[in-house]
C-alpha cells in the first residue's frame, strides 16, 4: 500500500488489486471500450479538496496541491455516450447509484464519467473548451463524486468562524457570494465556494470539508468590493465572471464543524433583514432543497440514504431563513446579524 501511494505520487497508478471497485465496475458496464480498468495516464498532479486526495492527469490550478494516498483518480479515458439504464436523466447528465455520465461535447468539448466515488474519466471530444471543461469537472462532476461517496453536498458558500463553519445558501441571485465576501472581509476565511460538502464525524457531528481556494465572482460583485479584475482570470473568456484566488490565511484548508446554515432569500416584503430560525419539517424541507444542483426527490431515488443523512444534518444544525430586502442588500447589517446570531 505504501509503495502504491508513493508510486502514485510519481505518476504511477496503484495495482489493480488495490482498486477493486473500479475493476468491478468495468465488468458491470460490459463494454469492451471501458475495460481498461487501470488508467495508464501518469498522474502528474495531486490535489486536495473536500477532504479527498485527488490524483489528476489534468492540471487543475484552482485546487490546492498536496501529497498522500489517493482517494480519487482523474484521468483521460473512454466515457460512453450513454449509460445502460440510468434512473436519473437530465439534458447534460444521466446517472445511477454508482455511475454518473455527463455529456457536454458541444459546450465543454468532453464527456465525463464519474464512477463509484473513486474516479473521474474525461474523454475529450474537442480541444477548444478547457475552461469550461474544468468548470464542469470542478462543479457538476465533483458534486456527483460526493453524492456517490455518501457525502452531502450543499449548494452554498462556507466561511470558517471560531464557532464553526457557516454556510450561506440560497437560490440563484440570492447573493450567496456577496454576503460570504462581506463576512470574509471581516476576517473569516473562506472554507468552500458553491459546494459545501457535509461529512459526519463518528460522533455524528457534521463537518464542512474545505473546498477550493477561490471564489467565482461576477464583475458587478467585484466592483461592489473594489476588487480589481484586470489581472483575474475569467472563468470563461465569454463571461464577466472571474476566479478570485484566496491566498494563504484567506482560505481555511481544514474541515470545520458545521455551526449554522443561513438561507438567504431576497423578498420584497421586508425593509430590514429578518431572521427566522427553522425547526421541524420546515427545517428538513429547506435543507433538502439546498442539495447541490439536484432536486432532493430525484437525488433520493438514486442515493436512498440521503434521506437519513439530511435528517441527521437537520438534527445537528441551526438553520435560519434570512429574508433580505430585494431593493438594497444591507450587507453590513446582514453580516452584523449573522455575527450576533453566532454569538448566541
* Cα–Cα nearest to 235, from 216, 213, 212: 216
Contact residue for other proteins among 46, 140, 199, 317 (CB under 8 A): 140
* Cα–Cα nearest to 72, from 100, 36, 102, 48: 48
Is residue 12 part of the contact set for other proteins (CB under 8 A)?
Answer: no
Is residue 139 part of the contact set for other proteins (CB under 8 A)?
Answer: yes
DSSP-assigned letters across all residues of 269-292: S-SS-EEEE--HHHHHHHHHTTBT
Residue 210: helix, strand or coil by DSSP? coil
Nearer to other proteins, 124 or 224 (CB): 224
Residue 181: helix, strand or coil by DSSP? helix
Is residue 226 part of the contact set for other proteins (CB under 8 A)?
Answer: no
Contact residue for other proteins among 122, 142, 191, 235 (CB under 8 A): 235
Choose the stretch contacting other proteins; rule: CB under 8 A; options: 10-18, 29-37, 57-65, 288-296. Answer: 288-296
Q: Nearest approach, Cβ of 40 to other proteins (angstroms)?
A: 30
Q: Which distant-in-sequence residues (6+ apart) come within 8 Å of 56 by Cβ?
A: 43, 44, 45, 46, 47, 73, 74, 75
Is residue 184 part of the contact set for other proteins (CB under 8 A)?
Answer: no
Pair 198, 258: CB distance under 8 Å? yes
Is residue 30 part of the contact set for other proteins (CB under 8 A)?
Answer: no
Query: Residue 221: which H helix or E strand, with range?
Result: helix 219-224
Pair 156, 176: CB distance under 8 Å? yes
Nearer to other proteins, 22 or 135 (CB): 135
Pair 178, 186: CB distance under 8 Å? no
Is residue 91 part of the contact set for other proteins (CB under 8 A)?
Answer: yes
Q: Which of residues 33-72 bind other proteins (CB under 8 A)?
A: none
Is residue 227 part of the contact set for other proteins (CB under 8 A)?
Answer: no
Q: Which of residues 292-321 bind other proteins (CB under 8 A)?
A: 293-295
Is residue 206 part of the contact set for other proteins (CB under 8 A)?
Answer: no
Choose the stretch contacting other proteins; rule: CB under 8 A; options: 72-80, 198-206, 267-275, 312-320. Answer: 267-275
Strands 52-56 and 45-49 come out as: antiparallel
| Chain residues in the site for other proteins (CB under 8 A) | 90-93, 104, 106-107, 132, 135-136, 139-140, 171-173, 175, 177-178, 194, 218-221, 235-236, 238-241, 266-270, 293-295, 326-327
Amino acid at each position: 500500500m505504501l509503495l502504491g501511494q508513493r508510486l502514485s505520487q510519481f505518476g504511477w497508478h496503484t495495482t489493480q488489486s488495490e482498486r477493486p471497485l473500479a475493476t468491478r465496475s468495468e465488468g458491470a458496464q460490459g463494454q469492451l471500450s471501458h475495460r481498461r480498468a487501470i488508467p495508464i495516464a501518469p498522474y502528474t498532479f495531486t490535489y486536495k479538496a473536500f477532504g479527498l486526495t485527488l490524483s489528476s492527469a489534468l492540471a487543475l490550478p484552482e485546487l490546492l496541491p498536496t501529497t498522500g494516498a489517493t482517494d480519487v483518480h482523474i484521468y483521460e479515458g473512454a466515457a460512453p455516450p450513454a449509460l445502460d439504464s440510468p434512473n436519473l436523466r437530465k439534458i447534460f447528465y444521466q446517472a445511477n447509484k454508482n455511475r454518473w455520465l455527463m455529456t457536454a461535447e458541444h459546450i465543454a468539448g468532453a464527456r465525463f464519467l464519474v464512477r463509484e466515488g473513486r474516479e473521474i474519466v474525461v474523454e475529450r471530444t474537442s480541444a477548444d473548451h478547457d475552461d469550461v471543461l474544468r468548470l464542469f469537472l470542478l462543479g457538476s462532476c465533483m458534486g456527483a463524486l460526493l453524492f456517490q461517496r455518501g457525502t452531502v453536498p450543499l449548494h452554498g458558500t462556507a466561511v470558517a468562524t471560531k464557532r464553526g463553519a457557516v454556510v450561506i445558501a440560497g437560490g440563484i441571485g440570492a447573493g450567496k457570494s456577496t454576503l460570504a465576501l462581506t463576512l470574509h472581509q471581516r476576517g473569516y476565511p473562506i472554507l468552500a465556494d458553491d459546494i459545501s460538502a457535509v461529512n459526519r464525524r463518528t460522533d455524528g457531528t457534521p463537518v464542512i470539508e474545505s473546498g477550493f481556494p477561490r471564489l467565482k465572482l461576477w464583475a458587478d460583485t467585484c466592483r461592489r468590493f473594489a476588487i480589481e479584475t484586470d489581472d483575474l482570470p475569467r472563468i470563461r473568456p465569454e463571461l464577466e465572471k472571474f476566479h478570485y484566488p484566496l491566498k494563504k490565511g484567506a482560505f481555511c484548508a481544514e474541515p470545520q464543524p458545521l455551526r449554522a446554515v443561513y438561507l438567504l432569500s431576497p423578498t420584497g416584503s421586508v425593509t430590514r433583514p429578518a431572521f427566522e430560525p427553522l425547526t421541524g419539517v420546515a427545517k428538513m424541507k429547506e435543507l433538502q432543497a439546498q442539495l447541490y444542483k439536484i432536486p432532493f426527490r430525484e437525488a433520493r431515488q438514486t442515493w436512498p440514504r440521503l434521506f437519513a443523512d439530511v435528517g441527521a444534518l437537520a438534527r445537528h444544525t441551526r438553520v435560519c431563513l434570512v429574508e433580505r430586502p430585494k431593493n438594497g442588500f444591507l450587507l453590513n447589517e446582514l453580516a452584523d446579524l449573522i455575527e450576533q446570531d453566532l454569538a448566541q
